[in-house]
Amino acid sequence: MIIYDNIFRKYGLSPTQQEILKIVGPNKTVLEIGSSTGYMTRAFLEQSCTVDIVEADSKAVLKIPKKARKIINKSIEDKDIFGLLNKDYQFIIMADVLEHLVKPEQVLKQLQKIASPATKLIISLPNIACWAMRKQLFFKGDFEYQDSGLLDRTHLHFYTVKSLQKFLLDNGWKTEQLKGTITRLPFEGFISKVPLMGWIFKKIFYQGLVNKFKNLAYYHLLIVASK
């Protein structure tokens, strides 16, 4: 989607995207599903990765780096798509894609057929149960769709820390790593303004609370899974 290219041009790669690049590392063979205009593709290529692309947006495809090994202008949900893909991928990347699919469970099951036991599936998407969303619902009763972000109007499915892991497991993928981009915790803003208490909260309690209450703390989820 071109709107996400505009966001990239303004802010650069997100913390989640940067983390994906670190996990993949150099000299890997990657299938990138939903590449948009190829801003992550360029970063993978700069790491000397071999990259195959599946991207449904024909306008976005025109901007994808031609150094990609394979560029397929189709949806990952097209019936014939899996016959066009290789079976040598070390990483399959679905960054902010799963929530846009009509039948994501079918895609996850099909991906198993081209994945080896060593293939890692990396999924990232927003967490509907984060504190920012709960606060918005509780205090404002607001669930209005937007052009991008958590309530992107093209999102067909919503996930939480628990439901995403269960959904992946039900469709053949076991979570190996779970990471997240942290949003504010309840009352964090108020506590941080109090001298000494704010310092104690951040230095002693903050990380423990984040680890214990991931569903509240994580605005954006990143999962590494395997067959």
Q: Is residue 159 part of a domain?
A: yes
pLDDT band at 2 (very low <50, low <70, confident <90, very high): low
Q: Is residue 8 part of a domain?
A: yes
- For residue 17, give the H/E element and its range: helix 15-24
What single DSSP character describes residue 210?
A: H
* Mean pLDDT value of segment 139-154: 86
Q: Is residue 194 part of a domain?
A: no
Using CA atoms, how far apart are residues 54 and 97, in angstroms rounded to an integer? 11
Using CA atoms, how far apart are residues 50 and 74, in angstroms rounded to an integer? 19
Using CA atoms, how far apart are residues 209 and 43, in angstroms rounded to an integer? 33
Domain, as residue range, for 84 = 2-185+216-226
Q: Is residue 34 part of a domain?
A: yes
Higher per-residue confidence, 183 vs 18: 18
Q: Is residue 220 part of a domain?
A: yes
Comparing 25-29, 145-149, 188-192, which segment has the lowest mean pLDDT?
188-192
Q: How many domains does the chain have?
A: 1
pLDDT band at 186 (very low <50, low <70, confident <90, very high): confident
**Structural tokens at position 196:** 């000494």
Q: Is residue 167 part of a domain?
A: yes
Q: Is residue 16 part of a domain?
A: yes
Using CA atoms, how far apart are residues 227 and 170, in angstroms rounded to an integer? 11
Q: Is residue 211 part of a domain?
A: no
Helices (H) and strands (E) in the chain, counts: 11, 7
Q: The domain that contains 42 carries what CATH number?
A: 3.40.50.150
CA distances from 187 to 22, 135, 184, 191 (A): 32, 11, 8, 6
Using CA atoms, how far apart are residues 116 and 134, in angstroms rounded to an integer? 39
Comparing 24-33, 70-79, 99-108, 143-152, which segment has the lowest mean pLDDT?
143-152
What pLDDT digit, counting tens, does each position of 91-117 carry?
999 999 999 999 999 999 999 999 999
Using CA atoms, how far apart are residues 225 and 219, in angstroms rounded to an integer? 19
